[in-house]
A = this chain, B = another copy of it.
Amino acid sequence: MTARRRPTLRDIALSLDVSVNTVSRALADKDAVSPETRERVKEEAERLGYVPNSMARSLVLRNAMTLGLVITNPSNPFYARLISAIEERGRERGYSLMLMVTEDSADNERRAAEELMRWGVDGVLAIPVQHGAEHWHRLRKSGTPVVLLNRHLPELDADVVGVDYYAGARAATEHALDGGARELYLVEEDLDISPVSERIRGFRETLAARGVAAPDDAVVRVDPGAAPVAGPAPGPVSGPFDPGAAYAVGADLARRAGRGAVVLAGNDYHALGLYRAFSERGLRVGTDIGVVGHGDHPFSAYLDPALTTVRLPAPDVGRAGVDRLLERVQSAADDADPIRTLLAPELVVRASAGPLPHPSRRGGR
């Protein structure tokens, strides 16, 4: 293709025998340009196929009209929806999006933050790795507003927009309790990240409030590298979104759990892994044993039985995150105290968690 230099203001100016400045103003629809000149300029711009150079513009205006999004893993359905919502909202407000994926590596994250500084993005949305945050401090010190998404970073002077996982876990736990369950488990993977610790807290506090015993090993940790289901392995699955991890602890759980127990899973993929582990051992989910998911992924309503799960308001988090960030970007003083916004998840009751026919009152409900 003819890689001809793209036309600039200067080209238009030359061809019309006016000054670059006039062209600039005409195109920017500023006053102080006669209607006729404006018309001629616009026509010539059109004719030449002029496209403004955003870099040059940003350089002089000192705003990039670009936001950075640092995300751990787009294959997490929740994050995928977050990406969509953020891109859309940003676009509505005139901002482009620079995307960096970290795969939960602190090193990648450091490089991503560095790169975003170089580009001078106006603000950054990040799902932080929660392991080493020096780069975020540097970014903040350089004056770039940062909004943390979904995960906290306590020491950092940044706004947070996330999900109230504590409430989500409470709702799930209460639902199980209301269905008659007295033996509950919580299956989680990465115990270090804040959503998980919030869920654990919600789980334990609810049990305590209801006077139900919750031994230490009621919270079971799943190993991300666990051996997957027998048969043709699933394709390379990234990160925590592998049912196999939960599947691997399912056997043990099936052994430990009595009839009428309910297992809460940290995400719907894990719930699915549990489904399979249980049914392979003759346990019918929703009847012999309950399962509650977290996330309401697109497949969850169609599982058999349909999964009761906690729906996360991904689009709301995305939009609120962008709005929060742009408020900082656009207000001169961005040194106000950090604001934490927690959006409420919603328990979606389907069939997987009962009410279970409790041993003591058969044929329950």
Contact in complex: A80, B74 (CB < 8 Å): yes
Q: Is A27 an interface residue (CB 8 A)?
A: no
> What CA separation (Å) do A1 and B91 show in the bound complex?
26
User: Which residues of B lie under 8 Å from residue A99 when comparing CB positions?
Assistant: 69, 83, 87, 97-99
Which A residues from 292 to 344 make CB contacts under 8 A with B? 296-304, 306, 311, 315, 334-335
Asked, given contacts A51-B117, A51-B118, whether A334 binds B3 with beta carbons under 8 Å apart, the answer is: yes
Contact in complex: B87, A6 (CB < 8 Å): no
Q: Is A204 an interface residue (CB 8 A)?
A: no
Contact in complex: B304, A304 (CB < 8 Å): yes
User: Which residues of B lie under 8 Å from residue A311 when comparing CB positions?
Assistant: 235
> In whole Å, how far is A218's beta carbon from the nearest beta carbon of chain B?
24
Asked, given contacts A74-B83, A83-B99, A298-B75, whether A140 binds B1 with beta carbons under 8 Å apart, the answer is: yes
> What CA separation (Å) do A361 and B332 show in the bound complex?
78
Contact in complex: A55, B51 (CB < 8 Å): no
Q: Is A203 an interface residue (CB 8 A)?
A: no
> What CA separation (Å) do A275 and B273 show in the bound complex?
17
Q: How does the 8 Å CB contact mask read for A66-91 relative to B, with 1 for contact and 0 for none?
A: 10010001110100110110011001
Q: Among B2, B49, B58, B231, point to the contact of A350 (Cβ < 8 A).
A: B231
Contact in complex: B4, A143 (CB < 8 Å): yes
Q: Among B1, B84, B142, B273, point to the contact of A6 (Cβ < 8 A).
A: B142
Contact in complex: A235, B296 (CB < 8 Å): yes
Contact in complex: A115, B101 (CB < 8 Å): no
User: Which residues of B lie under 8 Å from residue A120 when comparing CB positions?
Assistant: 6, 53-55
Of A81, A97, A302, the most chain B CB neighbours within 10 A belong to A302
User: Which residues of B lie under 8 Å from residue A351 when comparing CB positions?
Assistant: 231
Task: Name the residue on B nearest A306 (C-beta).
Answer: B231
Asked, given contacts A77-B75, A334-B3, whether A275 binds B301 with beta carbons under 8 Å apart, the answer is: no
Which A residues from 14 to 71 make CB contacts under 8 A with B? 49, 51-56, 58-59, 64, 66, 69
> What CA separation (Å) do A292 and B157 show in the bound complex?
51
Q: Among B111, B119, B242, point to the contact of A298 (Cβ < 8 A).
A: B242
Task: Name the residue on B nearest A3 (C-beta).
Answer: B143
Q: Is A191 an interface residue (CB 8 A)?
A: no
> In whole Å, how far is A259's beta carbon from the nearest beta carbon of chain B?
20
Contact in complex: B315, A236 (CB < 8 Å): yes
Contact in complex: A302, B275 (CB < 8 Å): yes
Q: Is A214 an interface residue (CB 8 A)?
A: no
Task: Name the residue on B nearest A114 (C-beta).
Answer: B51
User: Which residues of B lie under 8 Å from residue A212 when comparing CB positions?
Assistant: none
Asked, given contacts A140-B1, A237-B298, whether A100 binds B119 with beta carbons under 8 Å apart, the answer is: no
A3-B143, A91-B111 are known contacts; what are 20 more A-B pairs with Cβ within 8 Å? A51-B142, A74-B80, A74-B81, A74-B84, A75-B84, A77-B77, A84-B101, A84-B103, A97-B100, A229-B306, A231-B301, A231-B350, A231-B351, A234-B300, A235-B296, A235-B348, A237-B298, A244-B302, A272-B303, A275-B304
